[in-house]
Amino acid sequence: MADKIRVLLSEDEVNKRISEVAAQISRDYQGKEIHLICILKGGVFFTCELAKRLELPVTLDFMSVSSYGNDTKSSGVVRIVKDLDEPLAGKDVLIVEDIIDSGRTLSYLIEVLKQRGPESIRLCTLLDKPERRVKKQVTVDYTCFTIPDEFVVGYGLDYAQKYRNLPYIGVVEQ
């Protein structure tokens, strides 16, 4: 590893909190089936771990969106790279994200998905950086951790496509 990574949240902390959030979701959706929408690529690790812990029927779909293109700065224009395979009409939808900061992409995505007729849409994230929120109307229903404005990797989050496979959340230090 060329970069120095400081552990922000240990593997045990992450696993414990995912279990707690899954228990809350299971209580909130008791008697229902939940349709998880995993936002790729970063959300896949968290979505799989969350789904394994849910105590209710689960269906799963994947979506990939981009507002970055080939740049490191958001263009502000959201583009759907991979759309859903299944219709959403009548489903209780839970969007699962790895991290939410500005909220621009999710604000757009939620409006697009609402037009597809789901019964409900809620949002779940592993990490939240509310101090970076530009779109204040983005409501996060389930948050595992609120973190400071630092560049994090691990558990699906990457730095130039590296470090996604770390079992903990770390901060890349210069």
Domain for residue 106, yes or no? Answer: yes
pLDDT at 132 (0 to 100): 74
Domain for residue 17, yes or no? Answer: yes
61 is an active site residue: no
For residue 36, give its domain range.
10-150
Whole-structure pTM value: 0.91
How many domains, the chain?
Answer: 1
Domain for residue 119, yes or no? Answer: yes
Domain for residue 40, yes or no? Answer: yes
pLDDT at 71 (0 to 100): 43
pLDDT at 68 (0 to 100): 53
d(CA 130, CA 146): 7
Domain for residue 166, yes or no? Answer: no
How far is residue 61 from each of residues 10, 70, 83, 85, 113, measured CA to CA in Å?
28, 25, 9, 7, 13
pLDDT at 67 (0 to 100): 64
Q: What CATH number does the domain containing 131 carry? A: 3.40.50.2020
Domain for residue 81, yes or no? Answer: yes
Q: How many other CB atoms are there within 10 angstroms of residue 83's CB atom?
A: 11
Kindly give the residue spans of alpha helices, DSSP state H, lying in the chain.
Answer: 11-28, 43-53, 104-114
d(CA 133, CA 143): 14
Domain for residue 145, yes or no? Answer: yes
Domain for residue 2, yes or no? Answer: no
* Set 92, 98, 101, 128: catalytic member: 101
Q: What is the pLDDT along the chain (174 residues), one digit of tens a residue?
A: 467 999 999 999 999 999 999 999 999 999 999 999 999 999 999 999 999 999 999 999 999 987 654 444 445 677 889 999 999 999 999 999 999 988 888 888 999 999 999 999 999 999 999 887 776 678 899 999 999 988 899 999 998 889 999 999 999 887
